[in-house]
């Protein structure tokens, strides 16, 4: 389930990356879950995406972090191209799978410095972005608390240092079956909210969720920057998320 959950969380935060080589999108809810220091130039193609992600998930003995650092670049035809080199905080990304897949830990809650040495269709540039801290969830706790669908509950988390956060709740049918002996269809809830250290999920937000089983609660934050170079938009972003499994009750 860990790989599945990482994909789910990354999907929430990867709106820019999923746009591929098409026209650069306007800022979205997910992109605005942090300080948007610049905007993409309207009508320009997306020339590249540089991203770093950390997802903190709880375990029976504490928690663990999973990291993903990526750099993708596109030519005018939308094909993936490679620069001479890419580095983040002095660490060079290996040229594997189109500069994808580096899992080395990168600092969060501090500056991330990207450096691109261009080649052909990729210009040389650098960017410094203040990455959010991990919004560690303190309530509900990992397979300890039971939250009420009919009454709602409050999610508590550590401030990631951004203006706002994303709150995502997903019913996990497989964990519900293995842990509770019940299984229902997929259901989820997502919203953006001001970063206050807590968020109240009301009974209305949870309408449609079953009254028993297991849910995954995720709090996410993202900081985003844009650069316009050689008539293309380049997106640079850093995202931090915290995940917690908990039980449902009526």
pLDDT tens digit sequence for 93-129: 876 545 545 566 688 999 999 999 998 889 999 999 9
Side-chain-facing half-sphere of 83: CA atoms under 13 Å: 24
Rounded to an integer, what distance in angstroms lies between the CA atom of residue 74 and that of residue 122? Answer: 8
pLDDT greater than 80 at residue 167:
yes
- Integer angstrom CA distances of residue 6 from 13, 54, 93, 131, 174: 11, 9, 21, 19, 16
pLDDT of residue 96: 56
Q: Give CA 150 to chain center in angstroms.
A: 29
Question: DSSP characters for 18-38?
Answer: GGTTSBPPPP-TTTTSS-B-S
Strand 125-130 to 111-117 pairing: antiparallel
| β-bridge mates for residue 130, sequence order | 111
Give the pLDDT band (50/70/90) at residue 184: confident
Position of tokens 């609660």?
Answer: 217
Side-chain-facing half-sphere of 195: CA atoms under 13 Å: 22
Task: Give this prediction's pTM.
Answer: 0.80
**Spatial contact of 91 and 171, defined as CB atoms under 8 Å apart:** no
**Spatial contact of 245 and 137, defined as CB atoms under 8 Å apart:** no
pLDDT in tens, 25-71: 333 333 333 333 468 888 999 999 999 999 998 877 888 888 888 89
* Domain residue ranges of the chain, discontinuous segments joined by +: 2-133+222-242, 137-220
């Amino acid at each position: 389930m860990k790989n599945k959950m990482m994909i789910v969380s990354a999907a929430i935060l990867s709106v820019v990356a999923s746009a591929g080589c098409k026209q650069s999108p306007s800022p979205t809810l997910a992109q605005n879950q942090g300080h948007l220091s610049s905007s993409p130039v309207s009508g320009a193609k997306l020339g590249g995406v540089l991203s770093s992600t950390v997802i903190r998930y709880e375990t029976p003995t504490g928690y663990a972090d999973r990291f993903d650092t990526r750099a993708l670049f596109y030519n005018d035809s939308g094909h993936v191209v490679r620069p001479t080199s890419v580095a983040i905080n002095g660490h060079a990304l290996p040229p594997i799978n189109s500069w994808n897949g580096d899992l080395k830990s990168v600092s969060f809650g501090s500056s991330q410095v990207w450096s691109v040495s261009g080649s052909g269709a990729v210009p040389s540039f650098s960017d410094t972005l203040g990455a959010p801290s991990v919004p560690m969830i303190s309530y509900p706790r990992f397979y300890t608390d039971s939250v009420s669908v009919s009454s709602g509950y409050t999610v508590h988390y550590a401030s990631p240092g951004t203006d706002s956060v994303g709150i995502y709740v997903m019913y996990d049918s497989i964990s519900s079956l293995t842990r509770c002996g019940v299984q229902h269809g997929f259901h989820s809830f997502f919203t953006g909210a001001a970063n206050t250290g807590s968020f109240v999920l009301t009974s209305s937000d949870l309408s449609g969720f079953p009254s028993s089983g297991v849910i995954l609660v995720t709090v996410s934050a993202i900081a985003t920057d844009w650069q316009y170079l050689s008539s293309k938009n380049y997106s640079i972003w850093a995202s931090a998320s915290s995940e917690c499994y908990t039980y449902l009750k009526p």
